[in-house]
Structure 1
């Protein structure tokens, strides 16, 4: 390719600005993250973290159910589960009947339940509360996420963190780096385009910083696309809409499983499940959603148990807040505060962590938090990702002991 044409193309790319580049999909759209480097397999014994975001505010009280507490039945006379309906964990608490697979994990000591997880001065806004969880900054709004700050301090490999889906969550955004984004509906890059990107990514000392950012994004595509291309099959979006739900949690975790088995050098995967804002007719809706979670996570972790890399994998499932203790007039629950966080996988030491919140000693009708969510992150960063948690969660945090 002629030098003049190359530079003209890079200048055009730089001219669209970072916002334009970030509006696209996959590696080529993330120039701040995607730096030069050659592909390498994940080193043996590397910890892997899979983050499952349950958007909408899951009702933790009807997930980890205090079936032996009279206050539970008094607050939810028509919404409460009878003792014989739950999957018992001990003499006081039981899992929602939809969580049969996770009940089995509990029996094998590979499910940790962190109780009463929240943050000071809880906010009942979906958007603000999810921002707090994803930035790990309860007091002041910030523009970077806790995984993004980990990216900022852990190197420049463009494959370190991956969101399954084209829209990056706030947790994946750092000051200098961002996670990669991936969608099953993204087609493979044709050979001719690959050759062009290789030519465009060649070093040139005359490039401006903006042009270097564009060039680095092209170069990083040569790392990410072949690596993920061998485990992600291109899907015709129109056919996918008729034949398969490529955005389902099971499909997202299937992508993760194939990447892990292929030794893709990704340490953090992000997936999601929506629909937990159960203001009305909650029981059926929530059971369906929890069953979706259970039927996606359970076979995924069964696969991981038999894989060299998967045996070092931990799944965290969380929601932005719990629900209020009392049921509303529509057989649902309204936005609350603290709720449970689930940790699953072979490295997890099963059991309860954190104190069970009182159903009678409330904060304006909400459960009082007994565990700071940043302590959960602290242990995942220190034990699973083998990194200093301070840049992500600040000082004064501690491990809880579930790993």
Structure 2
């Protein structure tokens, strides 16, 4: 390995940035490593995992009204037959790709909130996702609902961590933002760590700024030597969501002082060939979430974990000419974990009582957020979701 020129390295900000040293919203694996050892999350603290399904998941072919003739009439080739679905009761069943979710339902660890949306729905991906992530359907705002929680309760960015190189809107506050952890982040190799250790050596010719950087490296080196027991999970290249949730699970079990994690899965804009595409995506969702929650069930901190899965909108009731569905409105939301009172919540939207071809909302998504903040994060939901919201009864 080429010898490092210490002074040239210190002034190479692009290299420092690549190593995660720069960037107010960035966090490295080693930083989480340090915080887990020095200020671990208090036992019994709730942990909320927010899973965003980007693209507008078709809720009707996710929680399937298999016994409703209007469903089959609206989707003659796209609908699932009763023998294909994973039945939840005499009216509704899960997509056949969701066997793990069906098991969670049987264990009473899965709540399905039906007809979730917001007033005056918008069919734009960008505006609708903005509404869901800011919890402000009436007018655009700059802060997200988790960001406002950070604003109201303190500035430590580690309390909320987004898995991925870019922060979602939900994590950005007016004063504070959550931290972003890139799934590719990992501890440095032994060779690189040995090379960088020389950067902590004091040089009397350093400027004040260079001396500060050197002192930081010295502190980091001490941390790495003292706290070297947390290992990142193996990558899951075929299922990016599984890789994200594996990382979340490792952090939770290590005691990282984070109460809110954000992960995501995209690809749900199924205007054509929906059945095959959506079933593949729901299979990835199912494998990742059910595996994550099964792993959590084996650990003492797992009893405090709740996962929310949502999308920016559902799809229209009728299939289009390309065997897909177009942008709709309300859809189901999944809330899963050991603290959950399993079952259905909210009224099932009627397939014939429509608003210009769209499902009518029966539950405001801010009520779901309200309960998660109240019961899981143990905070006043008002600053994040506004006044006048209520708990639904999902959490024991």
| TM-score, reference length from structure 2 | 0.83
The yes-or-no answer on 1:87 pairing with 2:92 is: no
Question: 1:153: Cα distance to partner?
Answer: 1.7
Question: Match of 1:3?
Answer: none
The yes-or-no answer on 1:255 pairing with 2:251 is: no
The yes-or-no answer on 1:303 pairing with 2:273 is: no
Question: Match of 1:29?
Answer: 23
Question: Match of 2:383?
Answer: 391
The yes-or-no answer on 1:338 pairing with 2:358 is: no
1:194 & 1:178 partners in 2: Cα distance? 31
Q: Which runs of 5+ in 2 are unaligned?
A: 1-9, 203-207
Could you report, residue by residue, the CA deviation over 1:49-103 in whole angstroms, capped at 9, with x for unpaired residues? 0111100000000000111111111111111111111111111111111110100
Q: Which runs of 5+ in 1 are unaligned?
A: 1-8, 200-205
Counterpart of 1:377 in 2: which secondary structure? helix
Counterpart of 2:300 in 1: which secondary structure? coil
Question: Match of 1:202?
Answer: none
Question: 1:187: Cα distance to partner?
Answer: 4.6
Question: Match of 2:144?
Answer: 145
* Selected match of 1:377 from 333, 344, 369: 369
Question: Match of 1:160?
Answer: 159
Change (3 A) 1:262 1:234: closer
Could you report, residue by residue, the CA deviation over 1:196-232 in whole angstroms, capped at 9, with x for unpaired residues? 6999xxxxxx99xxxx9x9xx9999899999998545
Question: 1:310: Cα distance to partner?
Answer: 1.3
1:126 & 1:77 partners in 2: Cα distance? 27
Report the more deviating stretch, 221-230 or 279-288.
221-230
Counterpart of 1:302 in 2: which secondary structure? helix
Contact 1:32/1:177, CA 8 A, preserved across alignment: no
Change (3 A) 1:226 1:53: farther
2:187 & 2:286 partners in 1: Cα distance? 31
Question: 1:139: Cα distance to partner?
Answer: 1.1
The aligned runs of 1:172-321 (5 Å cut-off) are: 172-188=171-187, 190=193, 231=230, 233=232, 245=237, 248-321=240-313
Counterpart of 2:157 in 1: which secondary structure? coil
1:368 & 1:312 partners in 2: Cα distance? 33
2:221 & 2:153 partners in 1: Cα distance? 21
Contact 2:112/2:344, CA 8 A, preserved across alignment: yes
Question: 1:183: Cα distance to partner?
Answer: 1.5
Question: 1:308: Cα distance to partner?
Answer: 1.1
Change (3 A) 1:143 1:196: farther
* Selected match of 1:357 from 345, 349, 354: 349
Q: Over aligned residue pairs, what C-alpha RMSD do you find? A: 3.4
Change (3 A) 1:224 1:248: farther
Question: 1:344: Cα distance to partner?
Answer: 0.5
1:127 & 1:32 partners in 2: Cα distance? 24
